[in-house]
A and B are shown apart, each in its own frame.
Chain A
Amino acid sequence: MLELSNITKSFPGVRALDGARFDLRAGEVHAFMGENGAGKSTMMKIAAGLFAPDTGTIRLDGVPVSFANPSEAKAAGIHTVFQELTVLENLDVAQNLLIGREPALFGGAWLDRVALYDEAAKILRELRIPMDPRRMAGRLSTGQRQIVEIARAVAQNPRVLILDEPTSSLGRHEEELLFSLVARLKTAGTGIVYITHRMSEVFALADRITVLRDGRHILTDDAANLDRPALIRAMVGRDVSEARHEGESRRAEVALEVRGLERGADVRGVDLTLYRGEVLGLAGLMGAGRTELARLMAGIDRPDAGEMMLFGQPYAPASVRAAMLAGVAYVSEDRKGLGVVLPLPVGQNIALPSLARLSRSGWVSPARLRDFARDWMGRLGVRATGPDTVVGTLSGGNQQKVALAKWLSTAPRVILLDEPTRGVDVGAKAEIYTLIRALAAEGTAVLVISSELPELMQLCDRIAVMAQGRVSGDLPAVEASETALLELAFDESEAA
């Protein structure tokens, strides 16, 4: 019914899709799988009219089509529930459900309020969703918003329904609601694309499975012909056994201990221990709650429940500044957003968290600042003309080194690195690894969040894996394999 073939799509610096294909039959649930960044979401955004492919064709019932925008895709019967929620918080449930097609007279010149709420109530009743149509969406839980999102698409009797990780924020009850909706749509002949990371759902729901890796089509087969190991193999694609860090995990002194930490739907009871002098990797799929956990440790967000101990002392940072003073530094994954100030020179960036130490009664001596910066640039091998070079003009790797230098210069006892090598070339990567190892050797406790499993296996002493807001297990790096780590990442045993 819907067929995407030979799709290529590049973004600046990345080739997201490289000759990928996908086909969907009426009345089937087709699971679409792959690792983070494999190109699943990009592919579906092309089907939904949000992106135009660079090359390739889309056929609907055998006829080539092209969608200039989401409205055109919708008009053709293709509806999408995006991973990024599009429920508008400032509108109520009914307005959200019927957005863009509100019941109205005179071609939209007079909205029929009564009909709006009647129709919304009817949709909710038919889909057996217990929800007040007048409730403001801003007051719904994330899971409930997801349900509104799904109901909005289902209510339009789609021919094709694309669900992009629909269960990522659903509770048990809402999940059952979703599954029954999917079953009903299927019998009505709707073709359903189901993107998910949860293996059990795939085998419970899917008729066929397609796996994408690095933007390429890897396999399409009946779900009955596949099993979990085969799928993981297809997604990983290699039996990687690269060089590992050779070293015993030093577990002498506990640096940071986390017990029962919770925040919203993202962090749901995390227990984790980070030892002095170790590099602990934190693996997990997108949305597993890794960054959210690091933000709690770094004092950016406050936990709802649970406690943290830093070298045996209770640790509850009220701000990034408090965390910094306690000796915990966080280098964010979003370099441009939080890590470095792009328009400022290297020197000022590095000195930023240390300004108090570098200043006398509020006055900063430019000479002292430069010396300080030069010292750190040397230690980290930042390649820039000097401390006055603007950070924005440096390469990604050097920007990352500046971000690192900035926090290392505060002499942290615990350092949290979120995707420290994202967008960094191979050479700079190796340098950053060496730096991280040297830090640990000096006794710093290092937590590294990374979506690249080979990187974690190469760099870390130990790797903990998060799944759905919890730590599902940890392994010494020497024993870890990508397959074992992915098994843990897909873990859903705690769902009960």
Chain B
Amino acid sequence: MSARSSLRLSERMADLGLALAIVAIVTALLILSPAFRDPANLMGIGRQVAILGIAAAAMTFVILMGEIDLSVGAVASAAAVVTALALAQGWGVWAIPIAILVGTVFGLLNGVLVVALGVPAFIATLVSFFLAQGVALTLTGGQTILFAADWFRSLFATGSFLGQRAAFWWLLAVFVLMGWLLARTRFGAQVRAIGGDAEASAMLGLPVARVKLLVFTLTGALMGLVGMILIARIGNARADGAIGLEFDAIAAAVIGGTRLGGGYGSIPRTALGVLLIGILNNGLAIMNVDFNTQQVIKGALVVGVVLIDRWARGKGGTT
């Protein structure tokens, strides 16, 4: 009995540990770096993590369900390129549904490969990765696509509202949407159940195939949004614009306690993971720590969190 309650306690500790890690890092940076303390810099973190945050929220659903999506960076890049071309051609607002459509199509492809054809998600989304990269590279011919659409840039990134940039508000909207979906809807309950045991969920009569398809598709659609924010921030599009995003998104979700293998995870905790990575990136960059060292620190952080998570969930060895 006491062993059980102490286990529960240590699980809370893991939650607490993450919050403490953030507080510790923030305190250290506040003391060490005057540039970090600058309110303008602190306010900027919110919009800097927008792209990572949206991808991590989607990735949380995918991993929680026991799957993986390696295509998110490539799909976001493809959506970015297509949208930039549409804007450059003067298609105006039509660029927005086009971006979402591109993401949705790739997400749907992932879902169909996994659900209907039984391809493991790792392979299926790798296929989409290459496809999306192929599309983006063909369309750009390796060039940077420039466009001029101030309204677009303002809407998705640069515009200011209540002291925060548009990118931050999009991030917040996605977190609220995804948090609600996961914690408060039957759909979210099904995602969690399927991640716990897909076979048992099917025996219980849950619509396993439909839910999986929806999650992959939703992830794709959100990558359309990510693509738009990406180009709105910098004003141009490249075929490799968001490559590597998949790994940062997985890292943020895992740091937030989402368990690879499925069944455990939450959007607020992923938000903490995103915040931690965002603060770390910002702080290290502002202190002129070189990029390679930053990568090492991020890697060490993921390992540390996973080890703590393991320990917190007991030594039974069953994952």
Contacts and interface: CB of A to CB of B under 8 A. Distances in A.
A111 B188 CA distance: 10
Nearest to B7: A139
A117 B240 CA distance: 48
B59 to A, nearest CB: 18
Interface string A252-292: 00000000000000000000000000000000000000000
A100 interface: yes
Contact of A111 (B189, B193, B205): B189
Contacts of B193: 88, 91, 95, 99
B285 interface: no
Q: Is the interface of A mostly helix, strand, loop or mixed?
A: loop
A74 B263 contact: no
A90 B195 contact: yes
Interface stretch (A32-40, A101-109, A315-323): A101-109
B203 A86 contact: yes
A483 B193 CA distance: 44
B185 A91 contact: no
A71 B183 CA distance: 24
A420 B183 CA distance: 49
A99 B189 contact: yes
A88 B185 contact: no
Contact of B196 (A91, A100, A109, A111): A91
Contacts of B264: 90
B189 A88 contact: no
A138 to B, nearest CB: 9
Interface in A77-105: 82, 84-91, 95, 99-100, 102, 104
A99 B206 CA distance: 8
A110 B185 contact: yes
Given A91-B193, A99-B193, A139-B4, A86 B185 contact: no
A434 interface: no
Q: How large is the interface on B (under 10, 10 to 19, 20 to 34, 35 or more residues)?
A: 20 to 34
A104 B189 CA distance: 11
Given A70-B205, A71-B205, A111 B184 contact: yes
A90 B187 CA distance: 16
A86 B196 CA distance: 10
Contacts, number: 65
A50 B263 contact: no
Contact of A90 (B188, B192, B203, B205): B192
B202 interface: yes
B200 interface: yes
A10 interface: no
B162 interface: no
A88 B201 contact: yes
B201 A50 contact: no
Contacts of A90: 192, 195-196, 263-264
Given A90-B195, A99-B193, A102-B189, A70 B184 contact: no
Given A70-B203, A100-B206, A110 B184 contact: yes
Interface in B209-266: 263-264
Contact of B205 (A74, A88, A91): A74
Contacts of A108: 185-187
Contact of A95 (B185, B189, B200): B189
A180 interface: no
B251 to A, nearest CB: 22
Given A88-B197, A90-B196, A90-B264, A50 B203 contact: yes
Interface in B160-196: 183-190, 192-193, 195-196
A50 B196 CA distance: 20
A358 B196 CA distance: 44
B138 to A, nearest CB: 37
Contacts of B4: 139
Contacts of B263: 88-90
B204 interface: yes
B200 A88 contact: yes
B180 to A, nearest CB: 8
Contacts of B185: 104, 108-111
B206 A86 contact: no
B67 to A, nearest CB: 15
Contacts of B187: 108
A86 B200 contact: yes
Nearest to B181: A109
A175 to B, nearest CB: 23
A69 interface: yes
Contacts of A87: 200
A111 B190 CA distance: 12
Contacts of A82: 203
A70 B200 CA distance: 11
Nearest to B263: A90
A88 B204 CA distance: 10
Interface of B: 4, 7, 183-190, 192-193, 195-197, 200-206, 263-264
18 contacts: A69-B205, A70-B202, A70-B203, A71-B205, A84-B200, A86-B200, A88-B196, A88-B263, A89-B263, A90-B196, A91-B193, A91-B196, A95-B193, A99-B193, A100-B206, A102-B189, A111-B186, A111-B189
Given A88-B200, A91-B193, A111-B189, 5 more contacts: A70-B204, A91-B192, A99-B204, A100-B204, A104-B186
Q: Which 3 A-B pairs have the closest CB atoms?
A: A108-B186, A90-B263, A71-B205
